[in-house]
Structure 1
Amino acid sequence: MSVFNQPRKRVIQAIILGMVVLIITRLFFLQIVEKKYAKLADANAVLRKVVYPSRGIIYDRQNRAILSNDVLYDLVVTPASAKNIDTAYLCKILNIDKEEFRKRIINAIVRNGRVRQSVFAALLPAEVFGQLQESMYLFQPGFELVPRQIRSYPYAAAANILGYIGEISPERLKDTTYSSYNSGDYLGLAGLERTYEAVLMGTRGIQYLVKDNLNRPQGAYENGEFDSAAIAGKNLRLSLDIELQQFGEKLMKGKMGSIVAIDPQTGGILAMVSAPTFDPNLLTGSYRSTNSVLLNRDTTKPTFNRAIQATYPPGSTFKPMIALVGLDEGVITPSFGYPCGGAYYGCSRPIKCEHHDAGHAANLRLALSHSCNSYFSHVYRLCVDASKFGGIRAGGLQKWSDYMNSFGFGHRIGVDVPSEARGIVPTPAFYDKMYKGSWNSCTSVFLGIGQGELTLTPLQMANAMCIVANRGSYYIPHFVKSIDNDDTHLLDKYKEKHVVAHISDTAYSAVIHGMTDVVESGTGRVAQIEGITIGGKTGTAENYGIVDGKRTKLKNHAAFVAFAPAENARIAVAVIVENSGFGARYAAPIASLMMEKYLKDSISTKRQALMKTVMETVTLDPAMVAKSKLDSLNNSAIIKKNGTK
């Protein structure tokens, strides 16, 4: 028996010896070779402190900082150390009761445990910070004041573009997309802050501090050997002109609608105004949450970015696109005329035209300059009913829809701020569902004049003007033209030139001539700028809403689209002023003033009166204004910024 037991005994001894050697080797590595883990293992002796980086700055096209950083303080707590402190006095300073104090301590333990720091009171107002700073010795070692960078908006403009930051929510923390964030961290929640969060946020640093037997920090651990420095976020350089943006917001004060201005040569957005708007400083600092609730509840919906989220029938501003399709399909030529006597009678009910004089639609240029509804209703029907498509239902409407999609309609263009709407471009399937298969070109004839089921965003309308001005090409509209020290490819798609279908230069030239006539001698003469040739188109979009449960005709929206100089455009503009009547009344002057400001850097003396009139005009519904708190909120932001009462 002993002969057979000997090998088994040796095997067992060998296994035990091997395990001992393995354990000794691992301990040697951890304690001698890799000292870091041994030194940081004792959580009772070393405090791990997060160092937040500076968030990236945002600059406009003239390198002016339009979004920068300020500092406020958070009061943080380590629950295990919050003992034998003057709780009553702390509650008095923070204006909370003892029940709220206990609730916050419990929440801190649930979030981060007893020995880790958690935010107890975030972004302290100056007066609260001052009292705490004087009395912190009464609340230590459990409590500490920690600096926290917040955003500031020195120009108090472009709120819906820049966006804002806020504390990450518990729901997001559960999402693996945000695995690098911790409770209490801030991130971009809207606008450019959200889109470019990954480059703006920077990289957090870690600082290790030695604690004494009372849990008080005593200094750097191992002379900072294991600390990691915070790396600042990268800066964004925009195509936005902040002075043009401010000017546009002043022009739209008291109105509802939007302005979009784009550089056709690059796709860079020069201004994007959504009105009514708000001071972005309302969404920073200790009152951010309260102000956010008030803004979201306001009757004027200032947080709704009408430039990319609202959709409208484009009205007559759409006629240049109808003309391009007609020319490209060969159903008309630039000399094609239509005998309009004041209405279009080709369908069951007449479509009214504002002009009655003979010859006002004798050719394309005249029809565009006079904005003849009959002419473009007829051109639309010629396109979709063309025999080569087998008629509108067999292929004509689908072909027309394909043209519209190539112009950037009916889908998101891809602007670099979130929540862009698609708009609607009707297709055969759309009408089959709507009319149960019984429809024809008269059913959809209003598409020819930018009405009916067609809806576009102001951004899409402005981008269409870039296409016309460039004679068939565009770049995806965007705000960010460069990122400092960029090693990503985030901006590559905005540098790619997109060519629209196969429409000829001749067709574009014919349409551009008609659009310059609109401003020189047609419906848009109010938009003239001395010394600059402008291509433009007025529009009046019918507006329906639900009143007392019924679909009711409301006051029309005014629209104007344009580009200048017409020969080599540097700016393309779309303006919508809701519930304000004809496009020439308000939309055209606003677009013209924006172009003059950008191209000439100032408004001429001759047009100062026009500018004053536009700025003082209020088109908002008085009942809506009466219920709105927006003006008082914006005034409070100005007072806070100026430090006055």
Structure 2
Amino acid sequence: MATFNQSRTNIIRLILITVFLIIVAQLFNLQVLSGKYRKDAFRNAVFPKVKYPDRGIIFDRKGKAILNNVIMYDLVVTPNEVKTVDTTELCSLLGIDLTEFNKRLHDARIRNGGYRPSLFAPLLSEVVHVRLDENIWKYPGFTLVERPVRVYPYNAGAHILGYIGEADSAIIKRSGGFYRTGDYVGRAGLENSYESVLMGQRGVEYLLKDNHNRLVGSYENGSDDTAAIAGRNLRTYLDIELQMLAEKLLRGKVGAVVALDPKTGGVLAMASSPNFNPNDLAGAARQKNYSRLVLDVASPMLNRGIKGLYPPGSTYKPMGALIALEEGLITPASSYDCHGTYYGCNRPQNCTEKQPGHAASLRLAIAWSCNSFFSDVIKKTIDNPAYNNPRQGLTAWKTYMTAFGMGHRTGIDLPSEDGGNIPDTTQYDKAYRGLWNSCTMTGGGLGIGQDKMLATPLQIANSACIIANKGYYYTPHLVAGIDGENETDTLLKKYRIKHEVLTHISPEVYNVVTAGMQDVVEHGTAKNARIAGINMCAKTGTAQNKIMLDGNSFELYNHSTFVCFAPREDPRIAIAVVVENAGSGASFAAPIASLLVEKYLRDSLSTERLKKVEEIAATNKMPDYLGRVQYKADSTRGFQWFKLTKDSSYIRNYLKPGKPYTPPVLRRKR
């Protein structure tokens, strides 16, 4: 019996010891091995405050900061820490109701879970920030986080500088989780193209909290903190004064200006109109302003410099002349007895010049922009006897045009560039069921830069650089350098490669064409663009602007186009200007380019020339967008309106600048 009792006692002791050891092991596991409770305790006692880095600053060519940073504050929430909050008071401060409060809290929990901070109210106004900063301890679970926000000191360059916005779910997913909810990323322009350089690196500061959720100091004297690393700065070719002047000259108009440095491919200015203030997309009112701009039918956010598609018109003629000279189809002495009409094909082509002898040589034909001469040139080019048939002639012509940078993207360091269009045999086969010849292109106006030819202002400016450089160019780009750049950086390498194209065309051939382009300004179609003391080479363009309505073709106001480079002896600037619905190239595009050339080369304008600036800036050439008819050559091709009315009388009044007009009811094509 005693032995039995002893055994039972030993068993009980063993059970008790086992239970004790299990408890000890579990305590050891919870307190030492497992970090769960330690993490919970850490969350309750320590707040990880994200420190967003300053994004890199963007400077113009003279070192002026054209895009900088200011500090604003976000209100951030950790849902599981929200307890006994006076929601009425907080909602009143934020200007929201209880339903919106609960929705934001719910969304924060869904996005990041209950224990992770999430953005609750971004970019608070100064008044709201000050009131919250004084009373943040009253709202457990909420905290204020600094946020560097972009500011544009010159209110210029909106289309090229771009803007930043909160990373959406798609961006976060594409980044593999690198970006988090509440992070801001570049969404357009240089902000987008150079995001990896400008963004910097987030930091974290750990702060102790008391039992009232108030921040009372650093945790572990900041030993675990990580510093935010500011983004690197960009040094650009932009001349902010030239940019502001270009934007001013385009005020009240639809169009674009692109100015390049032929020696480097650097973009000196790129203006698009209608325009907007870049500061509207920074700060607390960003979302509201963004919605307004997106819905504006004038498309102020469209960068027409790289996305506007226009027939280049007569600005194409120097390229056409170079091709024909190189192929031996014409000589500098070639002429055409033009009396206002070209009769080389069944369909006569009109010429705007009728004075005798205006096409007595290639140089004169360029100076006076003879349509008949260049209609004959394109016919000879397509029917080139060196090739077997017009199909091969057109293919050879397209090869030249591709070398001139037309019909494909230039590769500029801006997102969403459009490639334009240089037609090939496939397009004509589709349009004419394979039944076409050189007269098809001549009748369509291909020889004078129309028909199916479309180009962006950037492409037109780049082609001028090739002519100015006699056969080479650098890929157009805005950024000249990145602070801290080293040999391993690859972002800018491709922009430092010299592209030698059409080098088989001799300098003498280029000189013939550039002499004619100088005559354009000296005594030709753009005498009003002449600058005393500066030898400028240029070409005007008057691009016909048509729409098709109910099977009928209607002529609208022509686009005014102009391309130039200067000085002829040592080109330092090349400019392309397009002003929609403004008439001849000499009417608006040429004076705008002339003012910009003088400003850049001389760094100032005379009093008389400043009066011209004010005169152009005050002229309204904006069409009535409420009655907008979409036509193929227009820069905002995304909208297509059709079947407006069988009575086309209103079309003739549609684009008259400054004239109010109430259109008929429009139906949108679906």
- The alpha carbon displacement at 1:274 in A equals 0.1
- Pairs within 5 Å for 1:153-172: 153-172=152-171
Q: Which moved more, 1:441-450 or 1:597-606?
A: 597-606
- Pairs within 5 Å for 1:611-626: 611-622=613-624, 624=626
Answer yes or no: is the 8 Å Cα contact 2:566–2:597 preserved in 1: yes
**Match of residue 513 from structure 1:** 515
**Match of residue 569 from structure 2:** 567
**Match of residue 592 from structure 1:** 594
Answer yes or no: is the 8 Å Cα contact 2:421–2:452 preserved in 1: yes
Q: Does 1:469 align with 2:471?
A: no
**Percent pairwise identity:** 52
- The alpha carbon displacement at 1:136 in A equals 2.3
Find the aligned partners of 2:383 and 2:565 in 1 and give their Cα distance: 32
SS in 1 for 2:364: helix
Q: Which amino acid aligns with 2:517?
A: M
Q: Which moved more, 1:313-322 or 1:597-606?
A: 597-606
SS in 1 for 2:262: coil
- The alpha carbon displacement at 1:215 in A equals 4.8
- The alpha carbon displacement at 1:44 in A equals 3.8
TM-score when normalising by structure 2: 0.86
The one of 435, 439, 442 equivalent to 2:432 is 435
**Match of residue 325 from structure 1:** 323
Find the aligned partners of 1:374 and 1:149 in 2 and give their Cα distance: 59
SS in 2 for 1:381: helix
**Match of residue 287 from structure 1:** 285
Q: Does 1:482 align with 2:453?
A: no
- The alpha carbon displacement at 1:546 in A equals 5.2
**Match of residue 579 from structure 1:** 581
Find the aligned partners of 2:118 and 2:614 in 1 and give their Cα distance: 52
- The alpha carbon displacement at 1:625 in A equals 10
**Match of residue 73 from structure 2:** 73
Q: Does 1:397 align with 2:398?
A: no
**Match of residue 19 from structure 1:** none
Find the aligned partners of 1:161 and 1:617 in 2 and give their Cα distance: 25
**Match of residue 55 from structure 2:** 55
Find the aligned partners of 2:89 and 2:551 in 1 and give their Cα distance: 56
Q: Does 1:254 align with 2:252?
A: yes
Answer yes or no: is the 8 Å Cα contact 2:315–2:563 preserved in 1: yes
Find the aligned partners of 1:156 and 1:606 in 2 and give their Cα distance: 26
Find the aligned partners of 1:287 and 1:178 in 2 and give their Cα distance: 30
Find the aligned partners of 2:339 and 2:308 in 1 and give their Cα distance: 35
Find the aligned partners of 1:491 and 1:509 in 2 and give their Cα distance: 32
Find the aligned partners of 2:234 and 2:177 in 1 and give their Cα distance: 24
Q: Which amino acid aligns with 2:496?
A: K
- The alpha carbon displacement at 1:396 in A equals 0.6
**Match of residue 131 from structure 1:** 131
Q: Which moved more, 1:69-78 or 1:186-195?
A: 69-78
Q: Which moved more, 1:420-429 or 1:338-347?
A: 338-347
**Match of residue 492 from structure 2:** 491
- The alpha carbon displacement at 1:76 in A equals 1.2
Q: Which amino acid aligns with 2:376?
A: H
Compared CA separation, residues 330 and 536, structure 1 to 2 (3 A): same
Answer yes or no: is the 8 Å Cα contact 2:171–2:179 preserved in 1: no
User: Could you report, residue by residue, the CA deviation over 1:431-470 in whole angstroms, capped at 9, with x for unpaired residues?
Assistant: 1122111111111112111010100000000001101111
Q: Which moved more, 1:188-197 or 1:208-217?
A: 208-217
**Match of residue 424 from structure 1:** 421
**Match of residue 193 from structure 1:** 191
The one of 304, 307, 310 equivalent to 2:305 is 307
Q: Which amino acid aligns with 2:161?
A: L
Answer yes or no: is the 8 Å Cα contact 1:556–1:579 preserved in 2: yes
Compared CA separation, residues 423 and 126, structure 1 to 2 (3 A): same
The one of 600, 603, 615 equivalent to 1:601 is 603
**Match of residue 100 from structure 1:** 100
- The alpha carbon displacement at 1:198 in A equals 0.3
Compared CA separation, residues 598 and 250, structure 1 to 2 (3 A): same
The one of 200, 205, 208 equivalent to 1:207 is 205
Find the aligned partners of 1:606 and 1:89 in 2 and give their Cα distance: 61
- The alpha carbon displacement at 1:48 in A equals 2.6
Answer yes or no: is the 8 Å Cα contact 1:40–1:46 preserved in 2: no
- The alpha carbon displacement at 1:622 in A equals 4.4
- The alpha carbon displacement at 1:388 in A equals 1.4
- The alpha carbon displacement at 1:230 in A equals 0.8
- The alpha carbon displacement at 1:554 in A equals 1.0
Q: Does 1:409 align with 2:406?
A: yes
User: Could you report, residue by residue, the CA deviation over 1:585-631 in whole angstroms, capped at 9, with x for unpaired residues?
Assistant: 111000000001111111123433432321211111246599xxxxx
Q: Which amino acid aligns with 2:366?
A: L
Answer yes or no: is the 8 Å Cα contact 2:137–2:214 preserved in 1: no
User: Could you report, residue by residue, the CA deviation over 1:75-105 in whole angstroms, capped at 9, with x for unpaired residues?
Assistant: 1112122111211111111121112111111
User: Could you report, residue by residue, the CA deviation over 1:562-604 in whole angstroms, capped at 9, with x for unpaired residues?
Assistant: 0010111110000001001111011100000000111111112
RMSD: 2.3
**Match of residue 7 from structure 1:** none
Find the aligned partners of 2:529 and 2:109 in 1 and give their Cα distance: 64
Q: Which amino acid aligns with 2:59?
A: Y
Find the aligned partners of 1:223 and 1:315 in 2 and give their Cα distance: 69
**Match of residue 666 from structure 2:** none
Compared CA separation, residues 549 and 358, structure 1 to 2 (3 A): closer
Q: Does 1:88 align with 2:53?
A: no
Find the aligned partners of 2:434 and 2:551 in 1 and give their Cα distance: 28
Gaps of 5+ in 1: 1-23, 627-645
Answer yes or no: is the 8 Å Cα contact 2:49–2:145 preserved in 1: no
Q: Which amino acid aligns with 2:421?
A: I
SS in 2 for 1:538: strand
User: Could you report, residue by residue, the CA deviation over 1:190-248 in whole angstroms, capped at 9, with x for unpaired residues?
Assistant: 00000000000001112223344555444322222222111100000010000100011
Q: Which moved more, 1:186-195 or 1:423-432?
A: 423-432
Answer yes or no: is the 8 Å Cα contact 1:81–1:215 preserved in 2: no
Q: Which amino acid aligns with 2:362?
A: L
Find the aligned partners of 2:112 and 2:307 in 1 and give their Cα distance: 39
Answer yes or no: is the 8 Å Cα contact 1:314–1:455 preserved in 2: yes
Find the aligned partners of 1:604 and 1:457 in 2 and give their Cα distance: 31
The one of 539, 542, 545 equivalent to 1:543 is 545
Find the aligned partners of 2:207 and 2:622 in 1 and give their Cα distance: 58
SS in 1 for 2:66: strand
Compared CA separation, residues 95 and 383, structure 1 to 2 (3 A): same
Answer yes or no: is the 8 Å Cα contact 1:300–1:625 preserved in 2: no
Q: Which moved more, 1:609-618 or 1:318-327?
A: 609-618
Q: Which amino acid aligns with 1:496?
A: I
Answer yes or no: is the 8 Å Cα contact 1:158–1:280 preserved in 2: yes
Q: Which amino acid aligns with 1:505?
A: P
Compared CA separation, residues 550 and 193, structure 1 to 2 (3 A): farther
SS in 2 for 1:388: coil
- The alpha carbon displacement at 1:552 in A equals 2.6
Q: Which amino acid aligns with 1:426?
A: P
Gaps of 5+ in 2: 1-24, 629-670
User: Could you report, residue by residue, the CA deviation over 1:3-53 in whole angstroms, capped at 9, with x for unpaired residues?
Assistant: xxxxxxxxxxxxxxxxxxxxx9xx99x989xx9x98999444443332111
Answer yes or no: is the 8 Å Cα contact 2:298–2:625 preserved in 1: no
Find the aligned partners of 2:481 and 2:81 in 1 and give their Cα distance: 47
**Match of residue 17 from structure 2:** none
**Match of residue 340 from structure 2:** 342
